[in-house]
Chain A
Amino acid sequence: MLSGWGRWPVMPGHERLSEDLAAVTCGATLTRGLGRSYGDASLPAAPGAPVAGSRLADRVIGFDQETGVLHAEAGLTLRDINRTLLGRGWFVPVTPGTAFVTLGGAVASDVHGKNHHSAGTFGSHVRGLRLRAGTGAIVEASPGIEPELFDATVGGMGLTGHILDVEVVLRRVPSMWIVGETEYVPDLESLLSTMLDADRIWPYTLAWMDGLGAGGRGRGVVYRGRWADADEARGRELAWPREIAFPAALPYWALSRFGMRWFNEGVLLSYGRRVKRGLIHPQRFFYPLDSLLEWNKAYGRRGFTQYQCVLPHKAGLAVYRKVFRTIDAQGGAPYVVVIKDFGAEGRGRLSFPCPGVTFSIDMPIADGTTQRVVDAVNDIVAAEGGRVYLSKDAFTRAEHYRAMDPRIDGFNAIRRRWDPEGRIRSALSVRLLGDVA
């Protein structure tokens, strides 16, 4: 059985795993990395359709200590890159909230992070890649060679071919530590203005909002950070924390709305009311949940969804508030809400980020309710010219996605050029992009 990080949906099948990715992708319909996309992006189009797994193909092909250019097989994880190279002054240029992502997955999702406003998406740091196209041929693609294929592959959800290896430019860092600040904000308006102000100075910004609002909606914490100078870090040793596995799936009622409400209350209290500043471990700053392996089990056997959309700046506060009112009205429970503003759009033909504000909302899956919530919010997002993040999505309907993303046809046209028989597809491409199972 295969499923994404949200543990729903579940599809019969298994990964073909091998250190030899070129061999194992022969005849496969899709390649998946660590399965950390939340919905059905890494699932086969039909039960049992052959899916290759890249995670054993994790060799570094070359690394240039002077320029930071890393060339590696697609299964190498961001975690491995950071742990191997941070001590030598290099860090991944862009990272999502988990380091358990393969290079291939980072390209396919064109992941973004706290530094989107200053560094764009992962794809904008990729110099080139090799992939096995749907025809079976192995093709090189970069901004200079087959640029159209390259642009479709960046953020292309693995649907343009099996990514075999990737060349990416890492970010040089002056120390191994982050100087971070946290600031309590009493409402959504101040949350957004505080974050946007911080963007002008800080390379990394993010906000967390209490989505359940025991004491009023929109309170939250704004995080800002930058790499510490060597002086600030004062040669402090850095040890990577041990990872502990979440023991077993909690019963579905364990993570209750009531409990989460008070949990959020506690989190807010712990930040106090003053700006806090300090030297922070990069693991805590970038990957606060990574030390607890398999935390997705906390949501129980029914799983959860992380709905993430972006709304253009012109939509404004009233629309953002409407999103949360709509979730409430439909009976949804936004347990964890993370907010970030995006900078300019990248070159990926199907990439998610575009200028605006993105909301990512964790909700436990509940029969009927979840679909209703997503449908209702998607009505707003489509009407306002926003879109949803395919790597998180499990519930969006094809007609909604088409209304949000006029780029589908252009993207599919490029796919067909490299895969005339339409061999490469996924459960997601069947659900949203018009592929047949």
Chain B
Amino acid sequence: MKRIAIVGGTKGIGRAVARRLAARGDRLAMLGRSEADLGASAGDLAARAPAASAGETVTIRFDLSRPETCGEALDEAASRLGGLDAVIVTAGAFGTQEALEADAAARERVLSTNFTHTIQFCEAARTRLLASGGGTLCVLGSVAGDRARKPVVLYGATKAGLAYYLQGVDLRHRAAGLRVVLVKPGFVRTGMTAGLPEPPFAANPEDVAPAIIRAIDRGTAQVYVPGIWRLVMLVIRWLPVAVMRRVTF
């Protein structure tokens, strides 16, 4: 049984991960903006959990865009769960390149949510996990952060920056017991990607959740989900710039 705080667990990949964790008996604290949404998700987890489960899911109102509240929320999670073994961040913002180019406010939201605010939250999580002797920090990046590409210039930049930060934290603090897990999902069918043209290897959230949880359990520094994206991105990273200028993906 692990004690886990999760941001973004009410939707998309986070929802699928939270369900699997709860089903195997882990205790969760769900952090999010809307009380009603958190309550509905906690109810979902409770109804799905086998009868003799570890205990009720804790819900904590929290707004990722207010960095000054990160520590407080995590402290509350730790005290209500009796400690924290892992912190998971699956929340993120997305916009198509066209939408983000056209709208400064949308751009600001994606840039700050995925980079500044996520990192501020991770810093709060880092200090708390280290202070309690270690733990796992799992954050969702994206394959879009692996190589600059035409359709994801801005979104990709936030995920590339986030990946650098997480890799650095891993180098610096793993020896002290902080295990950083950077998850790089390919195209996953969620509300975030609804309406986008579907590339090959598209997956459902419940297909990628087991690999994410395995990575959390093992402390794998970096994991592509579905696994095939490791190969795809290997190829894309090696494509010459001249090719990347021509292709549309």
Residues of A within 8 A of B (CB): 14-19, 53, 56, 59-63, 65, 84, 87-88
- Cβ of B190: which chain A residues have Cβ within 8 Å of it? 56
A-B contact count (CB 8 A): 42
CA distance A356 to B51 in the complex (A): 42
Checking B10, B44, B51, B194 against A65 with a beta-carbon cut-off of 8 angstroms, the contacting residue is B51
Residue in B40, B41, B47, B194 with the greatest tally of chain A CB atoms within 10 Å: B47
Apart from the given pairs A60-B47, A84-B48, 19 other A-B contacts in the complex at a CB distance below 8 Å: A14-B195, A15-B194, A18-B191, A18-B194, A19-B10, A19-B12, A19-B191, A53-B194, A56-B191, A59-B43, A60-B44, A61-B40, A61-B43, A61-B44, A62-B43, A62-B47, A63-B47, A88-B50, A88-B51
Query: Separation in Å of the B40 CB from the closest CB of chain A?
Result: 6
- Count of residues in B whose CB is under 8 Å from the partner chain: 16
B179 lies within 8 A of chain A by Cβ: no
B11 lies within 8 A of chain A by Cβ: yes
CA distance A59 to B190 in the complex (A): 14
Inter-subunit contact B194/A16 (CB<8 Å) = yes
B159 lies within 8 A of chain A by Cβ: no
Inter-subunit contact B191/A60 (CB<8 Å) = no
Query: Separation in Å of the B9 CB from the closest CB of chain A?
Result: 12
Query: Separation in Å of the B190 CB from the closest CB of chain A?
Result: 7
- Cβ of B48: which chain A residues have Cβ within 8 Å of it? 60, 63, 84
Inter-subunit contact A60/B11 (CB<8 Å) = no
Q: Given the interface contacts A65-B51, A88-B50, does A17 sit within 8 Å of B194 by beta carbon?
A: yes
Query: Separation in Å of the B24 CB from the closest CB of chain A?
Result: 13
CA distance A121 to B44 in the complex (A): 26
Query: Separation in Å of the A392 CB from the closest CB of chain B?
Result: 25
Checking A19, A60, A88 against B43 with a beta-carbon cut-off of 8 angstroms, the contacting residue is A60
Inter-subunit contact B51/A59 (CB<8 Å) = no
B107 lies within 8 A of chain A by Cβ: no
Residues of B within 8 A of A (CB): 10-12, 15, 40-41, 43-44, 47-48, 50-51, 190-191, 194-195
- Cβ of A88: which chain B residues have Cβ within 8 Å of it? 50-51
Query: Separation in Å of the A18 CB from the closest CB of chain B?
Result: 5
Query: Separation in Å of the A66 CB from the closest CB of chain B?
Result: 11
CA distance A16 to B196 in the complex (A): 11
- Cβ of B41: which chain A residues have Cβ within 8 Å of it? 59
CA distance A233 to B248 in the complex (A): 56
Residue in A60, A87, A88 with the greatest tally of chain B CB atoms within 10 Å: A60
Closest A residue to B42 by CB, please name it: A59
CA distance A19 to B48 in the complex (A): 18
- Cβ of A16: which chain B residues have Cβ within 8 Å of it? 194-195
Closest 6 CB pairs of A and B: A17-B194, A59-B44, A60-B47, A63-B47, A60-B44, A18-B191
CA distance A247 to B15 in the complex (A): 28
CA distance A60 to B44 in the complex (A): 5
- Could you show 16 A-B contacts with beta carbons less than 8 Å apart? A17-B194, A18-B191, A18-B194, A19-B11, A19-B12, A56-B12, A59-B40, A59-B43, A60-B43, A60-B44, A61-B44, A62-B43, A62-B47, A63-B48, A84-B48, A87-B50
- Cβ of A56: which chain B residues have Cβ within 8 Å of it? 11-12, 190-191, 194
Closest B residue to A87 by CB, please name it: B50
- Cβ of A61: which chain B residues have Cβ within 8 Å of it? 40, 43-44, 47
CA distance A61 to B11 in the complex (A): 15
Closest A residue to B44 by CB, please name it: A59
CA distance A87 to B23 in the complex (A): 12
Closest B residue to A64 by CB, please name it: B47
Inter-subunit contact B40/A17 (CB<8 Å) = no
Q: Given the interface contacts A59-B43, A60-B43, A61-B43, does A19 sit within 8 Å of B194 by beta carbon?
A: no
- Cβ of A53: which chain B residues have Cβ within 8 Å of it? 194
- Cβ of B40: which chain A residues have Cβ within 8 Å of it? 59, 61
CA distance A32 to B40 in the complex (A): 22
CA distance A53 to B189 in the complex (A): 12
- Cβ of A15: which chain B residues have Cβ within 8 Å of it? 194-195
CA distance A145 to B191 in the complex (A): 33
CA distance A62 to B42 in the complex (A): 11
Closest B residue to A17 by CB, please name it: B194
- Cβ of B47: which chain A residues have Cβ within 8 Å of it? 60-63
Closest A residue to B34 by CB, please name it: A20
CA distance A18 to B11 in the complex (A): 9
CA distance A63 to B45 in the complex (A): 11
Query: Separation in Å of the A50 CB from the closest CB of chain B?
Result: 12
- Cβ of B11: which chain A residues have Cβ within 8 Å of it? 19, 56
Residue in B40, B43, B44, B195 with the greatest tally of chain A CB atoms within 10 Å: B44
Closest A residue to B195 by CB, please name it: A14
- Cβ of A14: which chain B residues have Cβ within 8 Å of it? 195
Closest A residue to B207 by CB, please name it: A243
- Cβ of A62: which chain B residues have Cβ within 8 Å of it? 43, 47
CA distance A310 to B195 in the complex (A): 38
- Cβ of A63: which chain B residues have Cβ within 8 Å of it? 47-48
CA distance A14 to B189 in the complex (A): 14
CA distance A61 to B10 in the complex (A): 13
Query: Separation in Å of the A198 CB from the closest CB of chain B?
Result: 35
Closest B residue to A19 by CB, please name it: B11
Query: Separation in Å of the B2 CB from the closest CB of chain A?
Result: 21
- Cβ of A60: which chain B residues have Cβ within 8 Å of it? 43-44, 47-48
Closest A residue to B48 by CB, please name it: A84
Q: Given the interface contacts A59-B40, A59-B44, A60-B43, does A17 sit within 8 Å of B191 by beta carbon?
A: yes
Closest B residue to A71 by CB, please name it: B47
- Cβ of B51: which chain A residues have Cβ within 8 Å of it? 65, 88
- Cβ of A87: which chain B residues have Cβ within 8 Å of it? 50
- Cβ of B191: which chain A residues have Cβ within 8 Å of it? 17-19, 56
- Cβ of A59: which chain B residues have Cβ within 8 Å of it? 40-41, 43-44
CA distance A254 to B32 in the complex (A): 51
Residue in A15, A65, A84 with the greatest tally of chain B CB atoms within 10 Å: A84
Closest B residue to A53 by CB, please name it: B194
Query: Separation in Å of the A118 CB from the closest CB of chain B?
Result: 28
Query: Separation in Å of the B8 CB from the closest CB of chain A?
Result: 11
Query: Separation in Å of the A54 CB from the closest CB of chain B?
Result: 12
CA distance A16 to B11 in the complex (A): 15
CA distance A59 to B138 in the complex (A): 24
